[in-house]
Structure 1
Amino acid sequence: MNCDYYQMLGVARDATHAQIKRAYRALALQCHPDRNCECPEAETRFKQAAEAYEVLSDRTRRALYDQYGRAGVKMKGPSPADINDIFSEFGDIFGDIFGFGSCSGQSKSGARGEDLRFDLSLSFEEAAFGTSKVIEIPRREECDACEGSGAEPGTTSVICPSCKGLGQIQHRQGLFTLSSSCAACEGSGERVHEACAACTGAGFIADVREVTVKIPAGVGTDTKLRLRGEGKAGFGDAPAGDLFVVLHVEPSAHFERQGANLVYQAEISFIDAALGCQIEVPTLDEPVTVTFPPGTQYGDRQTLKNLGIAQIGSDRRGDLIISARLKTPDTLNDKQRRLLEEFVKAGSEHAGEVGAETSSARARLSDQTA
């Protein structure tokens, strides 16, 4: 990868920090892997843009890059942000124990944005075949007027005198030096003389963003989809949080889902079960005709291959299982009763085949006739 970092982001070599930041965000959104699942080149460009922004957003590393190229950046070694990331896990542990923030010294101005959750309902068919949904996410966005600084355009901010721009106040307890967020600047490390009128100095505004969610075929209730960078905006140059979409699938009017398989309860009369029949059953695609042989019993099953739910990450589908559910009439007219009585009498001639079942059926018919 020999492309110049400035060319990767599409900015001039004398671009301001704000211009570099806007260019990176636009390119990251355009080439985000979650939005370009079928385009490997997009993921490569996304990684290149991230690498370029990591260097050009840091004044020291950018100066080395401008003077020596990539060799200068490599000679410098890991950036301060990388070192802070290494120790941030320890800071979180100590912070939880002693009630202070991270010991890495990461200020609010470098805090990653919060993750968001959105609950999305899907029809059974949408979950089976996959779909795309446009959802509206209320979230915090960086103020365009002040570019997140909180200062009125045309004015400047100054380093917070309380924390010397660190955004945190150091506390020493025994062998440990811990830190907590600076109350004077709310962890930003800066103080503004005149607050931005558009965001009242917060640096962020409340906004509603439309996000397209691509839902793969075969998802189920409680499936979680992660959309990176679609959560709340980060502070300063920190990345945005992620958006977690939790799916809730409505039950089907026809099928019971068992993993990737579907089960359909087919109601047939006991006469059709005895003589055999053909019935039409629904599927996810189109109705099909299923043949039940003579002598079908309650619960007998037939399996139709590849007519079930798609398996996530595969071209294969589960099966559709047709289960026989015998339906007995609630009432009988005189003619039907006589015919059944004759059937029972005829069955008595084959006592070895009918046995106790014939006697039981005859007794039930006698009760109905009485």
Structure 2
Amino acid sequence: MTRESQAAFENTEIVQFLRQKDFIKIKEIGSGGTGTTVLLRDPIISEDFVCKKFTPMGGNNTEDAFERFINEIKFLHLAYHPNVVRVFNYYLYPKNNTGYIFMEYVDGEPISEYLKLNPDRVNDLFFQAIEGFSHLEKLNLLHRDIKPTNILVSKNGELKIIDFGFSKIPSIKDLSNRENSIILNWPYPLPSECYEGRYSLKSDIYFLGKLFEQIIHDLKIEDFFYSKILESMIEFAENSRLESFSLIQRMLIEEKSPEIEFAPQEILKYQKFSEEISLLLSKIYDEARFDLDFASVQKKLKNVYQNSILETKVFNSADLISCFINGGFWFKSKSFLPTKVLIDFYEVFENSSVTKKKVILNNLYYRLQMTPKHQAQIKEDELPF
């Protein structure tokens, strides 16, 4: 914390929440040069969280490592995206150079291990990885530690980029000893710029490409759809390499990937559902948000589907709309969605790949966001603010 920010902090009214919150320790997950990681459960909401404790060891510079730990918290708060691990809370103890981060628990495994049993998912996961890194690019954020153990795949097939301990917003023109030590740990040959003492966005592109190239080679995967794009990502010379993840993202779409191709009947079923549900909605509260977690949407949809399967119409419109919207909304109480429309949509959604599910939700939310907004009434209460 700088002197200016410290002074501003000291002159600011502080709101303190003193209630202690306890967690149940499930197991230890691992440890590294900057600390240990455990799996904790919140008994009140019955959810699991990964807790990373900062405890540097093995000769790591304490102040330098603690700065990286704080930066990791900042970066994770910025990088809210379905393919980037979420941070929920943190506790810092600057006087002791230690602290904790509470993060999303990804029930899965490294991408290299996942693809051993699911090699047919390589195109979908490549697409997801580019989406995640394209989002980081928009935040001007370099990951700088791209390896299989830092790209996890959940049991439902969703890719998550983790471990931002070495990430940074590019602002240097040469590499310090810390950057050089990172380079020595990379499992892939270095690109041209690293020999010149630089690490850029194109370096992230190179190392992600090398990661997929290695996995495809080791597992002898023959049906990778984006070989030409991958070749352009791993060019040794920086000026010959693809320039951005956003460009790669556009190229993937233009390739007409089989991962995002929809059959005519699938399109018709989606269009009928999106039309019907948009007609149900009257207004959406300003603070309401669309649910971007496709697994959560599918779980809620399944519940509505099972409760309506013997009916001709879905009579609980509130539950149906809540599958997609987190927050307040108004709907037409005398209008109902035909159950057959829901069944058709649910079957399309359930049988789609992760990438296709995201395309479906993106299209649906684009349509629903045209619904008129409603400003919620603010009520006074006895809370601090």
TM-score range, shorter chain: under 0.3
Larger radius of gyration: 1
**Greater RCO structure (CA 8 Å; 6+ sep):** 1
Of Structure 1 and Structure 2, the greater helix share is in 2
The two structures have a TM-score, normalised by structure 1, of 0.23
